Structure formats: structure tokens, C-alpha cells
């Protein structure tokens, strides 16, 4: 809604500036504009209009750079309004609203640049790694349920993934808050482990941006209202461990070929489960993978994540991600929908719902 209203304001304000061009070149009779408009000045009114309309088009197209032509257009517009203050002064209201939006847009762009820069550096490293084809011999050391899972998923004969890009849409909530719709895009690398997760959400009707960053065993989370006002920030050893679980969760669900990793040790469960421990440096996390009768991964359970209590402290709590709607995705059979669940003393609490929109492996190749 916010984006739509902003696009409408940009479009209307841009079109109104074309009146200056029409007045200067005599394209239309405009009795409301009594002062003369030289043709050279009419050109500047047209340039302001074009800049605002370009900004509108970029905004509609989803570009984070829409604010750049908008900023120039607003400044030029205000100069022209001051020159014709008596007739055009009310345009200052629109420019003031657009200036606030431009500041927010610049903040979002700067915030997102942290994400794009980190992703670029990570992919530069992973793309330099050699490509490895998965064979039957690679599966031999794994527990039988995991072997069956990898075969059912279709990893045989494919390349072992080095990175992946995932896009989701869904909704998320806190223990005492309403559901908030979101879209996300994230890039994970497996050697070394890294995860950069960008969130576009709506909180109380206002755009909210978030960045989860996990690299070199360290994790941070920062959420900003309008992309400029911090409303939540987290880091520390509990988050480092918890984000390692999240990274491993992504790997197990959406990059099953990456389970062929010497950093993972296995313990047999039953015919439909296996326990995995991932170790990176001095940090280890454990999770149980659960499979159905068709050898599809249908749940991931770990006791190594932490939920945020009402007083702001991190509390160890069982975490799981039940999965369904498996379908062909990039030559593999993977779940199209999953939920994130905290297992509280009073029962399971679903706090995230994720629908897969796209998945790509080994970006940049």
C-alpha cells in the first residue's frame, strides 16, 4: 500500500509539472497560471516531470534506486515552485512528502547495499571452488534413511552445490504480535558457511526491512522500520549458535547434495530419521532429520536454537520446520512450503510460514 501510494504521488506530481511545459510553449490555455513562462523555463519543468516519472517507473519495477532521480526531481521542482510561489506554492506539500520518502529510500538502499556487498564477496569465494559431481560412492558413509532421501530428492549425478539463492513469501509473528506479511531473498554458501537473509515486511502498515548476516561463525540481526529506524538488533553467542542451526536447516531442506560434507557426523535414528551434528571451528549444533514413507524430508528438529523472551533474553527452545508440498524444483524434489515452530512448554507455536518462490544454485556460473 505504501509503495502504491508513493508511486501515485510521483506520477501525479510529475504530470502536473508538464503544465509548466504546456504554458511555456503554448500547448494549452492555463488561466490559473497568470505569470509568463519562458520557453527555457518550460524545459526545466519538463525535466522535473521526467525525473519524477522515471522515479515512479523504477519504483513500480522494484528498483531500490528510484530515490535517485526522485531526489533531483524534488529539488528542481522546489526551485521552480519558489520562482512561481504565488501560483505553485501548494506543490511544496507534495515535495515535502516526497522528500521524506526519498530519505527513507536512500536509507533502504544503503542498508541493502550491506546485503549485496556481502553476497558478492561470498560468491566470489565460492565460485572459485572446484565443481564436484555426486556419485553413489559419496552416499556410502551416510545412514540409510539419508541415502534414500538424497536419491529420492534426485541429487545423483548433479553437482554438489557451493551456494544457493532462495526467495520466499509468507508471514511471521512474535509471541504476542500479529502476523506480518513478508517477502525474503537470501544467499547461502556452504564452503565456508555463510547466510545473508534480506527481509521485506510490513509492520503496523509501514515498510520494514531486515538483514540477518551469518559469516565466519558470527551472526547479527538488524530490523529497521522504513529501512532507517532500528527497531530490533541482536548478536552474541546464542545467536551465533542459533544462526548456525538456521544455516544447516536451509542446507538440509534446499541443498541436500551439500549433506556430503566431512564436517557433518551422523548417528542412526530409526528407519525414518537420522541425527546430524555439524561442526565449524569450536561451534557444534545437532539436528534430527525426519523422513516420510516416500523418503522425503518432512521435518527438521533441533534443540540448539534460542527464542527471544519478553525481557529480551535468549531462551533455549526446541525448534522445528515441518515441510510439505514437495515438487520438482531445479531438477530436484524439494518442499514448496514450510513452517518455523517454537516448541514452548504450553505447546507448539508457529511463528513463520514460508512459501518457496525461486531457488538457484551456484550463482554467477
Cis peptide before 110, with omega less than 30 degrees from 0?
Answer: no
- Rounded average pLDDT over 40-47: 78
Is 116 contained in some domain? no
Question: pLDDT tens digits, residue range 117-141?
Answer: 999 999 999 988 899 999 999 999 9
On whether both 222 and 305 belong to a single domain, the answer is yes
At residue 269, the pLDDT reads 77
Question: pLDDT tens digits, residue range 290-349?
Answer: 999 999 999 999 999 998 776 667 889 999 999 999 999 888 999 999 999 999 999 999
Is 129 contained in some domain? no
At residue 32, the pLDDT reads 52
On whether both 194 and 313 belong to a single domain, the answer is yes
Other beta carbons within 10 angstroms of residue 334's beta carbon come to: 22
On whether both 28 and 91 belong to a single domain, the answer is yes
- Check whether 47 has a pLDDT greater than 70: yes
| 26: DSSP letter | T
At residue 339, the pLDDT reads 98
- Check whether 142 has a pLDDT greater than 70: yes
- The range of the structural domain enclosing residue 38 comes to 2-105
SS3 for 53-65 is HHHHHHHHCCCCC
Quickly state the pLDDT bin for 15 (edges 50, 70, 90).
confident
At residue 226, the pLDDT reads 77
Contact status, residue 236 vs residue 219, Cβ threshold 8 Å: no
- Rounded average pLDDT over 86-115: 87
Beta pairing, strands 273-280 & 206-215: unpaired
**Residue/partner pairs of 167-172 with CB below 8 Å, 24 or more apart:** 167/356, 167/357, 167/358, 167/359, 168/354, 168/355, 168/356, 168/357, 169/354, 169/355, 169/357, 170/352, 170/353, 170/354, 170/355, 171/352, 171/353, 172/201, 172/340, 172/351, 172/352, 172/353
On whether both 239 and 146 belong to a single domain, the answer is yes
- Check whether 64 has a pLDDT greater than 90: no
At residue 59, the pLDDT reads 92
On whether both 303 and 173 belong to a single domain, the answer is yes
Is 122 contained in some domain? no
Quickly state the pLDDT bin for 80 (edges 50, 70, 90).
confident
On whether both 351 and 242 belong to a single domain, the answer is yes
Is 39 contained in some domain? yes
On whether both 203 and 331 belong to a single domain, the answer is yes
On whether both 100 and 147 belong to a single domain, the answer is no
Angstrom distance (rounded) from CA 136 to CA 115: 37
At residue 227, the pLDDT reads 78
Question: pLDDT tens digits, residue range 199-247?
Answer: 998 887 778 899 999 998 899 999 998 778 888 888 899 999 999 999 9
- The cell for 76 is 528542481
Is 273 contained in some domain? yes
At residue 24, the pLDDT reads 52
On whether both 207 and 138 belong to a single domain, the answer is yes
On whether both 46 and 145 belong to a single domain, the answer is no
On whether both 181 and 321 belong to a single domain, the answer is yes
Range with the poorest average pLDDT among 32-46, 257-271, 291-305, 341-355: 32-46
Helix, strand, coil percentages, rounded to 5, for the chain: 40, 35, 25
Is 126 contained in some domain? no
- Check whether 31 has a pLDDT greater than 60: no
Among candidate residues 198, 195, 234, 225, the one with its CA nearest the CA of residue 115? 198
At 85, which helix (H) or strand (E)? helix 85-88
Contact status, residue 107 vs residue 226, Cβ threshold 8 Å: yes
Is 117 contained in some domain? no
- Check whether 30 has a pLDDT greater than 60: no
On whether both 85 and 149 belong to a single domain, the answer is no
Is 125 contained in some domain? no
| Number of domains the chain contains | 2
Angstrom distance (rounded) from CA 21 to CA 184: 42
pTM for the predicted model, two decimal places: 0.84
Range with the poorest average pLDDT among 72-76, 158-162, 223-227: 223-227
Amino acid at each position: 500500500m505504501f509503495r502504491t501510494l508513493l508511486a501515485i504521488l510521483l506520477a501525479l506530481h510529475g504530470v502536473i509539472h508538464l503544465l509548466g511545459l504546456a504554458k511555456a510553449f503554448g500547448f494549452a490555455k492555463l488561466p490559473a497560471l497568470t505569470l509568463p513562462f519562458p520557453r527555457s523555463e518550460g524545459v526545466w519543468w519538463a525535466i522535473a516531470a521526467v525525473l519524477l516519472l522515471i522515479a515512479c517507473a523504477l519504483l513500480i519495477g522494484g528498483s531500490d534506486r528510484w530515490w535517485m532521480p526522485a531526489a533531483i526531481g524534488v529539488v528542481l521542482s522546489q526551485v521552480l515552485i519558489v520562482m512561481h510561489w504565488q501560483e505553485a506554492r501548494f506543490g511544496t506539500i507534495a515535495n515535502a512528502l516526497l522528500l521524506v520518502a526519498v530519505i527513507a529510500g536512500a536509507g533502504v538502499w544503503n542498508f541493502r547495499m550491506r546485503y549485496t556487498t556481502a553476497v558478492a564477496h561470498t560468491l566470489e569465494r565460492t565460485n572459485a571452488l572446484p565443481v564436484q559431481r555426486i556419485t553413489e560412492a559419496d552416499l556410502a558413509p551416510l545412514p540409510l534413511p539419508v541415502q534414500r532421501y538424497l536419491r529420492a530428492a534426485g541429487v545423483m549425478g548433479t553437482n554438489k552445490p557451493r551456494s544457493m539463492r532462495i526467495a520466499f513469501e509468507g508471514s511471521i509473528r512474535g509471541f504476542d504480535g500479529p502476523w506480518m506479511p513478508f517477502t525474503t531473498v537470501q544467499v547461502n554458501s556452504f564452503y565456508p558457511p555463510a547466510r545473508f537473509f534480506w527481509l521485506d515486511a510490513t509492520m503496523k502498515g509501514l515498510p520494514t526491512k531486515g538483514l540477518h548476516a551469518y559469516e565466519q561463525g558470527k551472526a547479527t540481526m538488524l530490523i529497521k522500520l522504513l529501512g532507517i529506524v532500528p527497531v530490533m538488533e541482536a548478536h552474541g553467542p546464542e545467536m551465533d549458535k542459533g544462526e548456525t542451526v538456521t544455516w544447516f536447516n536451509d542446507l538440509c531442506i534446499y541443498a541436500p547434495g551439500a549433506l556430503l560434507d566431512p564436517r557433518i557426523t551422523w548417528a542412526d535414528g530409526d528407519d525414518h530419521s537420522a541425527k546430524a551434528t555439524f561442526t565449524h571451528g569450536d561451534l557444534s549444533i545437532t539436528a534430527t532429520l525426519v523422513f516420510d514413507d516416500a523418503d522425503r524430508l518432512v521435518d527438521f528438529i533441533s534443540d540448539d536454537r534460542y527464542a527471544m523472551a519478553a525481557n529480551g533474553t535468549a531462551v533455549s527452545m526446541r525448534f522445528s520446520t515441518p515441510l510439505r508440498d514437495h515438487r520438482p524444483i531445479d531438477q530436484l524434489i524439494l518442499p514448496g512450503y514450510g513452517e518455523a515452530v517454537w516448541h514452548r512448554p504450553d505447546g507448539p507455536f508457529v511463528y513463520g510460514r514460508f512459501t518457496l518462490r525461486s531457488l538457484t544454485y551456484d550463482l554467477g556460473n
